[in-house]
Amino acid sequence: MTTRRTVLTGLAALAFTGVAGRAQAQAIPLAEVSNYLNRMTTATGGFTQINNDGTLSTGQIYIKRPGRIRFEYNEPDNSLVMAGGGQVAIFDPRSNVGVERYPLSETPLKIILEQNVDFTRQRMVTNHVSDGTKTTVTAQDPDNPQYGNIQMVFTANPVELRQWIVTDDLGEQTTVVLNDLQQGASIGDIQFNIQNAMRQRGL
């Protein structure tokens, strides 16, 4: 289930490209991007996912920082990917191997779910450019670059996260395009409880 794992070992959408030399001065400062994520306690919205094999999925996303995220996939997929309690769990109705679980710390997604996001940290950001409209920040765990990276696209005035592309430890990419991400929603912790999700699905 490499495609699902890539969502969190890396989370994504259409890749934006820009001319680095022209755009560097226009890029949203890394401290401002960090502050934006640190102010985000909860968020909900829709998403479109472009998998490494080119297939598309849609659904709803729920974020509760630090450390929690939930992807509910629409029919006919009906999958669920969630992170909570330091673990990532993948529920795929088509799989015959049960629930796949692994540490959140081994995924690039943990970078934006940390308690304190700091993109000014040494060796964390490997690329920071703008095309004049959007700022792209590519980040990795500076202590474990082998886990892959996450490329995030932001717009300014006000700063908003629009999409990300996760490249996992195998080099596979998953793009998540966010649709109408709204902050401040009330989201119960139960939404990120892996054991509860297993009970609900009879596992």
Give pLDDT tens digits for 13-52: 333 333 334 444 589 999 999 999 999 999 999 999 999 8
Torsion of CA 191, 193, 196, 198, to 10 degrees: 110
pTM: 0.85
CATH number assigned to the domain comprising residue 72:
2.50.20.10
Residues (pLDDT < 70) of the chain are 1-25
Which H or E run contains 180? Answer: strand 173-183
If one counts the domains in the chain, the total is 1
Give pLDDT tens digits for 83-92: 999 999 999 9
Euclidean distance between the first and final Cα of the chain, in Å?
Answer: 18
Amino acid at 96: N
State the pLDDT at residue 76: 86
State the pLDDT at residue 78: 86
Containing structural domain, residue 196: 2-200
